[in-house]
Amino acid sequence: MSVLSILVVGLGSGLGAMVRYSVSLAGLTYLDTVWPWATLGVNGLGAWLIGGYARLTQAHRHQTVASLLMRQWFMVGFCGGFTTFSLFSLETLMLFEQQAWGLAGLYIGVSLWVWLFAVWLGYYSAQYYCRTYHS
């Protein structure tokens, strides 16, 4: 692990966290609801982004150090800072504490399916793009 890699991931993470915070504020401002739409959406978008980027940047024989750093910046840093399992966990706990058992269970189930589907969609959309435009 190099110092440059650590700095690159830190910068990406900071940017991702700032974007996530902005989305969360917008969600609180415009979506007056108990359901945590902003976190669900951010994690879905983040899963789609990381899936697509992972596919687009899969290791090739001629991968440069710069492209590896960019991959670390985006996937580990930005997507890691942008998505938030800890906030999802806290929101679920808050639903449990409000004794909203059904809503909490629904949130867990919907979240996992949305995020898994989003990462699959991102990955295979990028694969289709690669086959169609770069064959």
Give tens-digit pLDDT for 94-121: 999 999 999 999 999 999 999 999 999 9
Domains identified in the chain, total number:
1
The answer to whether 27 and 38 have CB atoms below 8 angstroms apart is yes
What pLDDT is stored for residue 27 in this prediction?
A: 85
Q: Which residue has the higher pLDDT, 81 or 32?
A: 81
d(CA 109, CA 66) in angstroms, rounded, equals 38
Average pLDDT over residues 41-46: 92
Residues 6+ apart with CB under 8 A from 88: 36, 39, 43, 111
CA dihedral 105, 39, 122, 7 (to 10 degrees): -130
CA distance 27 to 37: 7
What domain range is 29 assigned to? 3-133
pLDDT interval class at 133 (50, 70, 90): confident
85 or 49, higher pLDDT: 49
